[in-house]
């Protein structure tokens, strides 16, 4: 927050106009389809719970948006422990989409989230296309839900076979079915565990997705050499954190060149500079994930860092940075 003429300005970052000396706001606001966000920083699914868990540590209302933990139609117990382990510059998780199910979410979790008045994106998952459709219909009737994130790319489900997001045709079928079931903004979350992510992104766009979220975690594993056993109860899990950022950045850049819809980027974003890299490569917003476990204030620090960057570089609108990479 900046201070001018001895008084505190209450909204945003401001700078002095060269022409008339007036104070003009520096704009952090971005738009994801019909979602208007006050800044491009949100928290990634599965790393922020249902927000209430973090309410004692940060002012959640400062976030651009919240993406909930993935919700399924029926409650899920998730994978056997251990579920999370640290790796070099990252972590592996194999939670297995543990959650209390849609009925519990609507009754117990949504009322608190609704009171925050922060754009709410609900992540949904299922075993079949029909489950996604049913969830979309139920959430479409729920007050306070602004968008749906289709989690078709979770790599740590026990006994899972090929992911929907690893097949362009399957992705198109699922997105099209959900598109028919709701008028809510649809954000499709893509997997990095593919050979050509741009083709999957195009399939989602053409089927009716309003935006894309990428990337989800990379499939990986770790071994306890003393016991010669996997460190994760599920054997494999999803790798996240700073270790994956260069690959995530490359994928965002590739997809941004191929599609016309907004991209929400994630993958090792730990500070404002990381976020700026993704914006410059074509993302319209970023979601902070693993960093939430390191420091709950990371997302707010990133927002402040973006403000400082705009002020330092005399940039009035953060949208001018999106896709501004010069080759």
Instruction: Render pLDDT for 280-313 as a digit per residue (tens, 0 to 9).
Output: 999 999 999 999 999 999 999 999 999 999 999 9
- The band of 4, judged by pLDDT with boundaries at 50, 70 and 90, is very low
φ, ψ of residue 41 to 5 degrees: the values are -110, 120
DSSP-assigned beta bridge partners for residue 76: 99
Range 192-206 average pLDDT: 97
**What is residue 23's predicted lDDT score, i.e. its pLDDT?**
44
Decide: helix, strand or coil at residue 101.
coil
Catalytic residue, chosen from 42, 154, 202, 256, is 154
- Structural contact between residues 47 and 293, judged by C-beta atoms closer than 8 angstroms: yes
**What is residue 161's predicted lDDT score, i.e. its pLDDT?**
61
Range 5-30 average pLDDT: 50
Query: Alpha helix locations (H) across the chain?
Result: 102-104, 110-116, 129-140, 168-181, 197-206, 245-258, 272-280, 291-294, 298-312
* Distance (Å, whole) CA 312 – CA 315: 8
State the pTM of this model: 0.90
- What's domain 34-299's superfamily in CATH? Aldolase class I (3.20.20.70)
Instruction: Render pLDDT for 81-123 as a digit per residue (tens, 0 to 9).
Output: 999 999 999 999 999 999 999 999 999 999 999 999 999 999 9
Mean pLDDT of the chain: 91
**What is residue 263's predicted lDDT score, i.e. its pLDDT?**
98
Would residue 154 show up in a list of annotated catalytic residues for this protein?
yes
φ, ψ of residue 74 to 5 degrees: the values are -110, 155
For residue 300, give both structure tokens.
């707010």
| CB-side neighbour CA atoms (13 Å) of 131 | 16
DSSP-assigned beta bridge partners for residue 243: none
Parse the chain into domains and list their residue ranges. Answer: 34-299
- Structural contact between residues 135 and 152, judged by C-beta atoms closer than 8 angstroms: no
Lowest-confidence segment of 10-14, 138-142, 223-227 by average pLDDT: 10-14
Q: Which residues contact 81 (CB under 8 A, 6 or more apart)?
A: 233
Map 12-38 to HEC letters.
CEEEECCCCCCEEEEECCEEECCEEEC
Instruction: Render pLDDT for 43-90 as a digit per residue (tens, 0 to 9).
Output: 999 999 999 999 999 999 999 999 999 999 999 999 999 999 999 999
**Percentage of the chain surpassing pLDDT 90?**
88
DSSP-assigned beta bridge partners for residue 16: 23
* Distance (Å, whole) CA 310 – CA 327: 22
**What is residue 162's predicted lDDT score, i.e. its pLDDT?**
72
Residue 159 predicted with pLDDT over 60: no
**Percentage of the chain surpassing pLDDT 70?**
90
**What is residue 160's predicted lDDT score, i.e. its pLDDT?**
52
């Amino acid at each position: 927050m900046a201070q001018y003429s001895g008084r505190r300005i209450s909204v945003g970052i401001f700078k002095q106009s060269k022409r008339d000396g007036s104070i003009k706001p520096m704009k952090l606001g971005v738009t994801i389809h019909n979602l208007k966000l006050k800044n491009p920083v949100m928290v990634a699914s599965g790393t922020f719970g249902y927000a209430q868990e973090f309410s004692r540590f940060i002012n959640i209302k400062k976030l651009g948006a919240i993406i909930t933990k993935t919700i399924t139609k029926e409650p899920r117990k998730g994978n056997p422990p251990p579920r999370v382990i640290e790796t070099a510059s990252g972590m592996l998780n194999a939670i297995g989409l543990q959650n209390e199910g849609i009925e519990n979410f609507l009754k117990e979790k949504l009322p608190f989230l609704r009171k925050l008045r922060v754009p709410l994106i609900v992540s949904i998952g299922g075993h079949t296309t029909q489950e996604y459709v049913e969830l979309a219909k139920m959430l479409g009737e729920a007050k306070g839900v602004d968008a749906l994130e289709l989690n078709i790319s979770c790599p740590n489900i026990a006994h899972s076979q090929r992911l929907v997001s690893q097949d362009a045709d399957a992705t198109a079928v699922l997105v099209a079915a959900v598109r028919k079931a709701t008028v809510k903004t649809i954000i499709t979350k893509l997997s990095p565990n593919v050979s050509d992510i741009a083709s999957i992104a195009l399939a989602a766009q053409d089927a009716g997705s309003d935006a894309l979220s990428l990337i989800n975690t990379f499939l990986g594993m770790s071994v306890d050499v003393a016991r010669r056993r996997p460190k994760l109860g599920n054997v494999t899990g999803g790798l996240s954190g700073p270790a994956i950022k260069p690959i995530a950045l490359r994928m965002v850049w590739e997809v941004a060149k191929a599609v016309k819809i907004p991209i929400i980027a994630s993958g090792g974003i730990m500070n404002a500079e990381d976020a700026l890299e993704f914006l410059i490569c074509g993302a319209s917003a970023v979601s902070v994930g693993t960093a939430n476990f390191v420091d709950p204030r990371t997302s707010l620090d990133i927002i402040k860092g973006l403000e400082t960057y705009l002020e330092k570089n005399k940039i009035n609108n953060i949208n001018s940075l999106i896709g501004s990479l010069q080759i």
